[in-house]
């Protein structure tokens, strides 16, 4: 059966785990040859092995998405191995919990570098290639944390808001070249992020996150991968500069308390 991405080549940063790994597998399942790029070579290699075991095409590279040389090497690997780049999924990002006045400058700069500068670098190196090809799809991982503030996550909020607006500016500059640039805004997704942010209270963190979503649960990485596939494929051919919110209903809420009991009983 023909895949939606047959003959296309994709780069997935932070492809070794969570949303990136699920997306790399999903894109490969639809026929894309995938470059799995991750800070952890072990994780990137494992995802590549899974894709190949399913009959897909993939190579991996250990890289830091905040490092220009790492991003450049990833682009070169894609070109040398597969000869083109059709899809770029800029997915790397990191959060650190701290109150604003307690964030060290070093931590602030690292969060901005991994979360926002990485997106800039990926686009900077891929856009000229996509322009020559006359087509491309770029997907950036933003977050609902780029649409509002979170207590203790100000550097992440600032970086993800930057990803959203960088996506829009990039979409405007590149529409004439038939390159679409969109971002996905996940709600809380069931990945290692719960352990990283929740520490030894990860279970409680997961329970509270689930409660905060009107659908009553956290999302799964595969549910974001479905949105990434949509934005990568021709199914979204008239979308550019958009935010695709995949958040179980969180941002449908004003944030004010609601009173289901009151609504039911006031008559
Ligand atoms: N999990 C969530 O709830 C959630 C919600 C909204 C947005 N996001 C965003 O989704 C993206 C992926 O998050 P996740 O939860 O799937 O993560 P994860 O922790 O499950 O996996 C992250 C992967 O990224 C790799 N990585 C970390 N720093 C890197 C770097 N500098 N360069 C290259 N690779 C790096 C890690 O080795 C790991 O394999 C991030 O941008 C994150 O901010 C996550």
Q: Which residues of the chain have pLDDT under 70?
A: 261-262, 265-267
Cβ of 85 closer than 6 Å to ligand 1, yes or no, is no
Q: In angstroms, what is the span from residue 119 Cα to ligand 1's centroid?
A: 13
The pLDDT tens digits of the residues spanning 105-161 come to 999 999 999 999 999 999 999 999 999 999 999 999 999 999 999 999 999 999 999
Q: In this predicted structure, what is the pLDDT of residue 256?
A: 87
Residues 72, 66: Cα–Cα separation, whole Å: 11
* Helices and strands in the chain, H and E counts: 10, 7
For a ligand 1 pocket test, name from 11, 14, 150 the mutation site with the most ligand atoms within 8 angstroms of its C-beta: 14
Distances (CA, A) of 211 to 140, 180, 250: 27, 35, 10
Cβ of 44 closer than 6 Å to ligand 1, yes or no, is no
Q: In this predicted structure, what is the pLDDT of residue 60?
A: 99
Instruction: Return the ligand 1 atom nearest residue 66 CA.
Output: 31
Number of Cβ atoms within 10 Å of the Cβ of 87? 25
Residues 80, 246: Cα–Cα separation, whole Å: 34
* Fold held by 9-265: Rossmann fold (3.40.50)
Q: In this predicted structure, what is the pLDDT of residue 199?
A: 87
Rg over CA atoms, the chain: 19
Q: What are phi and psi of 59, to 5 degrees?
A: -130, 165
The pLDDT tens digits of the residues spanning 25-40 come to 999 999 999 999 999 9
Cβ of 38 closer than 6 Å to ligand 1, yes or no, is yes
Cβ of 188 closer than 6 Å to ligand 1, yes or no, is yes
Give catalytic residue positions.
156
Q: In this predicted structure, what is the pLDDT of residue 61?
A: 99
């Amino acid at each position: 059966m023909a895949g939606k991405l047959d003959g296309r080549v994709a780069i997935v940063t932070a492809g070794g785990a969570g949303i990136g790994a699920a997306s790399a597998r999903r894109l490969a399942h639809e026929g894309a040859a995938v470059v799995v790029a991750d800070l952890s070579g072990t994780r990137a290699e494992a995802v590549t092995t899974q894709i190949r075991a399913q009959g897909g095409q993939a190579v991996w590279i250990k890289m830091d998405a905040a490092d220009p040389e790492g991003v450049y090497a990833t682009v070169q690997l894609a070109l040398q191995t597969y000869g083109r780049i059709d899809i770029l999924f800029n997915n790397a990002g990191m959060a650190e919990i701290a109150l604003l006045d307690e964030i060290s400058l070093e931590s602030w700069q690292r969060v901005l570098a991994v979360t926002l500068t990485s997106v800039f670098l990926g686009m900077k190196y891929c856009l000229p290639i996509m322009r020559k090809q006359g087509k491309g799809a770029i997907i950036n991982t933003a977050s609902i944390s780029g649409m509002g503030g979170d207590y203790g996550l100000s550097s992440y909020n600032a970086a993800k808001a930057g990803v959203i607006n960088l996506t829009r500016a990039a979409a405007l500059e590149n529409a004439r070249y038939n390159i679409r640039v969109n971002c996905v805004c996940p709600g809380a997704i069931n990945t290692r992020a719960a352990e990283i942010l929740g520490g030894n209270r990860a279970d409680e963190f997961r329970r509270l996150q689930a409660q905060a979503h009107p659908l009553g649960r956290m999302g799964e990485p595969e549910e974001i991968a479905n949105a990434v596939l949509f934005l990568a494929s021709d199914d979204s051919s008239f979308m550019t500069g958009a935010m695709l919110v995949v958040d179980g209903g969180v941002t449908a809420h004003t944030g004010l308390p609601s009173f289901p009991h009151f609504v039911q009983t006031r008559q």
